[in-house]
Amino acid sequence: MPRGIALLILLFGWPVCCLLVNVGPASAVAAEKKNKMASEPASARAPFDARQAAALQAVWSESLGVPVAAKNSLGVKMVLIPPGEFLMGSSEEQVAEALRMAVELKIDENTRKRIRETERPQHGMVIARPFFLAETEVTIGQFRQFVKQTGYMTQAEELGTANSADPVKAAAGKGNGFNWRSPGFAQREEAAVSQVTWNDAVVFCNWLSAQEDLPPAYQRDKQAGWVLQEESNGYRLPTEAEWEYAARAGSSSTYPWGPDAAPGGRLMANTWQGAFPHRNDGALGWVGTSPVGAFPPNDFGLVDMIGNVWEWTTTIFAGRHRLGEAKRCCTPSRGPVDPDPAVSQVLKGGSHLCAPEYCHRYRPAARSPQSQDSATTHIGFRCVR
């Protein structure tokens, strides 16, 4: 028996073979599929802890014949995320606690409504296939390489439609000077890039695929815009479910690291520190985006899944979780049940502008809508394949 599978049995006590379905008359194709299923390790079942997360990654690494983490052509470490099941969204108790805090801190009604409505109902979700997610958000330096090689001009630069999400720094009108090079605060090359739209992120993903001779994950359609090619193995943006599963890393708590935002007073993410919006003391001294990896990783080894910048996903936003769809996720849904023409994509993770009394959405279950052409100081992205 492979060492990794034996380790899973020891840690979880689960059967290590997938259930086999009745595939009918024997054939070479059916037999091959059956043998492949029988040889695969078990999927993860949240909740699980850091030791179990590492064991799952190790056994799937052994099964697939790939490392748990390896750098790609851009020097980005891509981390293996094993398939699994988890509870997506906030429980009724977590919603009640968030709303209690909202009342106590006098959070605005719009934020309360989003907590009350958009994170419900909590539901089981299956991530059917393993995938590789970038350890970090795309940095200024990495985005600069893309621009240098392609001559790409972001939508903020081309249209002048960027702005600061900081209400003190926001400047109305086009041509206010905000873009990825000048987001409205000092930044380092290792900091997460911001002021990039969903469309900019998609073009970056296709460029990165081309660097590795992979088929593009997105094709441009004159009417529909960028359309995901679901069978492509190129770089793309994660689905909301993939993102939340990876961010939780086995946790069912309010935060990936537990029930408290700052356990023992330790800051776990780059969020606003001080009286919003007039004073920010900086998380670990960082005002604005921080260098990726400045805060502790989660149990899958991913950094900045919470805070720093909100992250684009491929999923189209709906006001509530879509329970009418099959609860298996490895490719994006084709659209929401109740689309709102004023919004488009789901953002996840919260940002450096999230303060308890203003946002309180630096939690894995939190979600925010944003149109595809939005560019601002607290939105970035990371890639998956």
pLDDT of residue 166: 61
Q: What is the pLDDT of residues 334-381, one digit of tens each?
A: 333 333 344 489 999 999 988 877 777 889 999 999 999 889 889 999
pLDDT of residue 251: 97
pTM of the predicted model, to two decimals?
A: 0.85
pLDDT of residue 360: 75
Residues 55-66 have a mean pLDDT of 97
**Contacts of 156-159 spanning 24+ positions with Cβ under 8 A:** 156/180, 156/195, 156/196, 156/197, 156/375, 159/373
Band (pLDDT 50/70/90 cuts) for residue 164 is low
Q: Span 73-385: which CATH code?
A: 3.90.1580.10
Higher pLDDT, 326 or 211: 211
Q: What is the pLDDT of residues 273-327, one digit of tens each?
A: 988 888 888 888 888 899 999 999 999 999 999 999 999 999 999 888 877 544 4
DSSP string, 120-184: -S-EEEEE-S-EEEESSPPBHHHHHHHHHHH----HHHHH---B-SSTTT---SS----SSS--S
Which stretches does DSSP call E strand in the chain?
44-45, 69-71, 77-81, 84-88, 123-127, 131-134, 218-221, 225-228, 310-316, 328-329, 345-348, 368-370, 379-380
pLDDT of residue 336: 34
Q: What is the pLDDT of residues 9-48, one digit of tens each?
A: 334 443 333 322 223 333 443 444 445 555 789 899 999 9
pLDDT of residue 333: 37
The yes-or-no verdict on residue 86 having pLDDT over 60 is yes
pLDDT of residue 169: 62
What is the pLDDT of the chain when averaged over all its residues? 83
**CB-based contact 89:48 (threshold 8 Å):** no
| pLDDT cut 90: percent of the chain above it | 57
- Residue 136 CA to residue 96 CA, distance in Å, equals 32
Q: What is the pLDDT of residues 170-200, one digit of tens each?
A: 555 566 678 899 888 888 999 999 999 999 9
Band (pLDDT 50/70/90 cuts) for residue 159 is confident
pLDDT of residue 206: 98
> Quick one: tokens of 48?
């699980």
pLDDT of residue 97: 86
The neighbouring-strand residues paired with 255 are 258
Question: What are the sequence ranges of the domains in the chain?
Answer: 1-65, 73-385
Q: What is the pLDDT of residues 236-270, one digit of tens each?
A: 999 999 999 999 999 999 999 999 989 999 999 99
